[in-house]
Structure 1
Amino acid sequence: MPILKLNKTQRRKLSIFVKCIIFSFLAWALFAISNSYVYTVKSGVQYVNAPDNRAFHPLQSDTVTIRLEATGWQLLFRTLQTTRQGIQVDLSGLQNRSWIVVANQLGFINRQFPANQRVISVSPDTLYFDFSKQTERKVPVKALYNLRFNKQYDVIDELRISPEYVTITGPLEDVVQIEHWETDTIRSESVNSDVHTVAHLKQNRRANINVYPTAVEVTIPVGEITEKILEVPLKAENAQQFSSVKLFPGKVRLTVMVSLRDYMKVTNNAFEAVVNMDDWVDNGVTSLPVIITQMPKFCKLVKVEPQNVDFFVRK
């Protein structure tokens, strides 16, 4: 392949030409990206000012399509964002009707965006709701926590929550699906003693569900822990069809973590280890996995030795 050879003058002219092309492209891109454009985005809906005396259920998805006017710069930055901005819809009009015209709330919606962006329309422009009888239900509170403990410290007992239950109010079809209500995650570093705190309940994502109270007191028992090793007899379940079942070995070695406070309470009798003979009958396994079916709540299982055992069956 022939190689194009240029003299010094030609190389200088070529360099100037390439720079002009690059400069022209950058000038065009800067001009183009500074213009205003209309584009569509998907946005989640958050309902506000819901009527207190009416239980409602949305009849459409909680995601709408927004036509937004903005510059190319804003479009670029919005594309780079990892989270999408949601919009709030005012439900105060549901006091005397079962629909909301979103097109009538464009002024309210535009105030939720920067001044240099303008919402032109929202689709669907009308949201419909089904009203049902409001019901109450008490559900347990589930406290979430992410604690970093000092060495040899951990949670040593069940969490204490006050109150243990909260009252949720809303449409029957929504309320019956809620089994518990979580708190915000409790966080702390270098923990070596009990944690006492007031935890707020997770923010309600549904405007048609009310929760009371909105915060609970949580106590997380923390104490020093240590390792304890026990030998527990092994039992065979579902062995009635056999005249005898011999397991090798007949005991398993359990390593558990337990608090110093409860160390003496942990005995062999507090644990139960079994194998299921149906694993051999149904699946033909050559060794049976060990299953721990009983263990104190204040213990944490670390290791089971062996995890599988051999057996001899006499029919």
Structure 2
Amino acid sequence: MAQPRITKTRRRKIAIFLRCLGLSFIAWLLFAVSTEQIFRIDAGISYVNIPESKAFHPLQSDTVSIRMRMSGWKMFMKRLRPDTPHIQVDLNGLRTRNYIVFTNQLGYINRQFPADNQVIGVSPDTLYFDFSKQTQRKVPVRALYDIQFKKQYGIIGDTRANPEYVTVTGPLEDVANIDYLETDTIRGIDVATDIRTIAYLNKHQKNNITIYPTFSEITIPVGEITEKVVELPLKMENASRYTSVRTLPSKIKLTFLVSLKDYNKWSSRDFEAVVDMENWEKNKVQNLPVILTKVPEHCHVISMEPQNVDFFVRR
């Protein structure tokens, strides 16, 4: 059956229709992005002007939904570069009540955004808080770092923090669960000298606690490192019930990294390697794994030969 042919006139009408459709879509798109519309955006919240005499627990999530009036074009650009905005909530009103109403803070919130982005509402509109006993506690500072060292360099000593301890203030049940505070991650590339930097402490989104001071000076000793090889005699554990136990070999070779200045400080006496006969009794293994039970600080073991040894038992 022959297919009907489209005449030139019909093709011209279809082309004109598609062109008009495209122009209409572009016109609608330009109108949509140029006019102001109301959009909903999720935002995280943090607290300012926290009453010093009160400790509190927020009774809702730390994320709210913002109704914001902005142009469609700005919203389109925001979709291309998605990020979660953050707003500050003024808690000065908690001195006389246990809730905060966002409607009363719209002026303060709008000052945190560009002038052409107008916040007209927040959901939920009211934040409720549960007050509890406030306490203080001193906790140690723990430095977090992600450092890439220059070849043959590494950490050669204890990381130091000044101050070593900071004061945490907040609800008793929250402060009691804080054993230490970590710093923001300290980063470095091709490091070959000591690191001294100011690192801020991370509250891990606990907005109802305060920290003093909020930062610590971190010192990380860095120096040249080298390899050292020692031979360790093997010790036996849980072998007292046997007349004798002998391993083959009786020693292992241990290779570790140590700072150049401490090369002569560490010897085989500072390490300990054992094999446990209980492993043979329970699992009837053919050979025993070597376990390192003592390694000095800042000595990084890179190899151990052999890792398993044969053994002979006389009952």
Q: Distance in 2 between matches of 1:236 and 1:4?
A: 95
Q: Distance in 1 between matches of 2:241 and 2:107?
A: 76
Cα 1:312/1:76, change in 2 over 3 Å: farther
In structure 2, give the amino acid aligned to 1:275.
Answer: V
Q: Distance in 2 between matches of 1:242 and 1:131?
A: 65
What's the secondary structure of 2:297's corresponding residue? coil
Q: Which residue of 2 aligns with 1:157?
A: 157
Q: Which moved more, 1:7-16 or 1:112-121?
A: 7-16
Task: Mark the runs of 5 or more structure 1 residues left unpaired by the alignment.
Answer: none
What's the secondary structure of 1:28's corresponding residue? helix
Matched, 1:134 2:141: no
Q: Distance in 1 between matches of 2:157 and 2:264?
A: 15
Matched, 1:60 2:37: no
Q: Which residue of 2 aligns with 1:87?
A: 87
Q: Which moved more, 1:163-172 or 1:191-200?
A: 191-200
Deviation at 1:16, TM superposition (A): 4.6
In structure 1, give the amino acid aligned to 2:183.
Answer: T
Cα 1:24/1:151, change in 2 over 3 Å: same
Cα 1:15/1:46, change in 2 over 3 Å: same
What's the secondary structure of 1:264's corresponding residue? coil
Deviation at 1:254, TM superposition (A): 1.5
Q: Which residue of 1 aligns with 2:177?
A: 177
Deviation at 1:51, TM superposition (A): 0.9
Sequence identity percentage:
55
Q: Distance in 2 between matches of 1:58 and 1:155?
A: 42
Q: Distance in 2 between matches of 1:16 and 1:314?
A: 100
Alpha carbons 2:181, 2:203 under 8 Å: kept:
no
Alpha carbons 1:50, 1:207 under 8 Å: kept:
no
Cα 1:195/1:39, change in 2 over 3 Å: closer
Cα 1:99/1:10, change in 2 over 3 Å: closer
What's the secondary structure of 1:83's corresponding residue? coil
Cα 1:222/1:2, change in 2 over 3 Å: farther
Q: Distance in 2 between matches of 1:277 and 1:22?
A: 82
Task: Mark the runs of 5 or more structure 2 residues left unpaired by the alignment.
Answer: none
Q: Which residue of 2 aligns with 1:147?
A: 147
The number of aligned residues is 315
Deviation at 1:119, TM superposition (A): 2.5
Q: Which residue of 2 aligns with 1:51?
A: 51
Q: Which moved more, 1:249-258 or 1:280-289?
A: 280-289
How well do the aligned residues superpose, as a CA RMSD in angstroms?
2.9
Q: Distance in 1 between matches of 2:289 and 2:12?
A: 79
In structure 1, give the amino acid aligned to 2:125.
Answer: D
In structure 2, give the amino acid aligned to 1:235.
Answer: K
What's the secondary structure of 1:26's corresponding residue? helix
Deviation at 1:196, TM superposition (A): 3.1
Alpha carbons 1:237, 1:276 under 8 Å: kept:
yes
Q: Which residue of 1 aligns with 2:221?
A: 221
Deviation at 1:111, TM superposition (A): 2.1
In structure 2, give the amino acid aligned to 1:62.
Answer: D
Cα deviation code 1:136-161 (max 9, x no counterpart): 11111112233343332211111122
TM-score by length of 1: 0.86
Q: Distance in 2 between matches of 1:278 and 1:68?
A: 68
Q: Which moved more, 1:188-197 or 1:216-225?
A: 188-197
Cα deviation code 1:185-210 (max 9, x no counterpart): 33444433323334333467434322
In structure 1, give the amino acid aligned to 2:274.
Answer: V
Cα 1:251/1:19, change in 2 over 3 Å: farther
What's the secondary structure of 1:93's corresponding residue? helix
Cα 1:255/1:70, change in 2 over 3 Å: same
Q: Which moved more, 1:288-297 or 1:272-281?
A: 272-281
Deviation at 1:173, TM superposition (A): 0.9
Cα deviation code 1:246-300 (max 9, x no counterpart): 4343322211110111111121111112334454455565544332221110211
Cα 1:236/1:69, change in 2 over 3 Å: farther
Q: Which residue of 2 aligns with 1:258?
A: 258
Q: Which residue of 1 aligns with 2:301?
A: 301
Q: Distance in 2 between matches of 1:31 and 1:237?
A: 82
What's the secondary structure of 2:224's corresponding residue? strand
What's the secondary structure of 1:53's corresponding residue? coil
